[in-house]
Structure 1
Amino acid sequence: DKPALKPLPATPYEYAEWLERRAGLDYHVEVETHYYSVPHQLLKKTLWARLTAGTVEIYHDGERVASHVRSSSNRRHTTVPEHMPASHRRHAGVTPDEIRRRAARVGPNTTALVEQILHAKTHPEQGFRACLGIVRLARPHGHEAVEAACQRATEIGALSYSSVKSILKNNLHRRRPRETAEGPAITHPNIRGAKYFH
């Protein structure tokens, strides 16, 4: 058998998974609730992500276009500055101002939440996906429900699309947070107060 044996590979075998993805308006692809940047020229293109234990590689037409250290941070962005467009050119007519205009059509609470999301990101483009998703929730749920959900999300500091969607799904926008009871504590002979323990 020895004459037929081939040399061992230069590197050991590494298990990898492949996922088909599409680059969003913010030139990032979502992989396991984390966003990885790709060159902005690949906006809206279908890509393949190769996942190993430590890396995420992005391929387009069989060529690797991006490589990132794999991250476990949910809903965060890993961005390579070279992937960003010069002076953040806007694509497909979507700008922060356009997103604000769309949010204003839904209502002031939606506008306030969108504003907070855009300000919380290092680059406003990283918040485009969440903001557009929140505005689009008005179609199936209605403006009033999205307004109430955005108000609740702002109150609890949940600045994400998934939070607003969850609030709507669980009808939490219809419930008000419990208010703390005011007035004296309950008095009863069977309830022992601080004096009992001294």
Structure 2
Amino acid sequence: WFGGTVPRIVPDNLKTGVIKHPREGEVVLNDAYRELAAHYSAAVLPGRPRSPKDKASVENTVSHVATWVIAGLRHRSFGTLPELRAAIRERMNAYNREPFQKRAGSRLSVFETEEKALLRPLPSAPFEISRWIVGRRVQKNGHVVWEKNFYSVPYAHIGQGVDLRITSQVLEVYRNHERLTSHLLLGEHVVNEYRTNDGDQPQGEKYREWDTVRIRAWAERVGPNMVTVVNRIFEAVPVEEQGFDAALAVLRLSRRYSSERV
């Protein structure tokens, strides 16, 4: 990882990584490859079709090293993976100390004298492959749904389409390549739960988040029969949040009809 130049990653020109070739010599990478390059400040340059020399030197070296390491381990047996890893590391160290055939020094000496001083640290967090969900609409309650749970989005984007970037632990919300907010993912067995960032919601009593206390207070203002109905709705569901929509649907009748009629 060199500070003086942009690191280059040269994979195969695989269809899972390269979306299209709009012009000669230009490639369009998929989201995962672009994120990988941006995370490590690197350039991804897939080998060109029908141009085997783009990767020939690298692949030949890898093949030679693998053959050299395997030859030294062929007659040994290992009981655990850590033992095998230690043996491979030992063989790799020996390979790097082998003198060059046509020049002075070894791979290790070249690294220590020429390359080590140019190294810069890797990012503090390793790259993590993500999944993109495109065009998810923000609901009227200011949340998007993912895996039967609700995650807040800044209220200015209610009714708009957003994109979700999901890793093993985090859900991020984007619109036009701008990150709007992020949340820790709820567990895989959790359903109908809300993750709400205070900064995503507008201020004021009008926009206060609905909960059982607020819903029951509204029911009490309508009348005792409404309280009975709302209580039965909540008793009929395993999780209280599952009854919010049904209870609010009944309560909203009081906006069209008198409390006595409701």
TM bin, normalised by shorter chain, reads 0.3 to 0.5
Higher relative contact order (CA 8 A, sep 6+): 1
Return the TM-score normalized by structure 2. Answer: 0.36
Which has the higher Rg, Structure 1 or Structure 2? 2
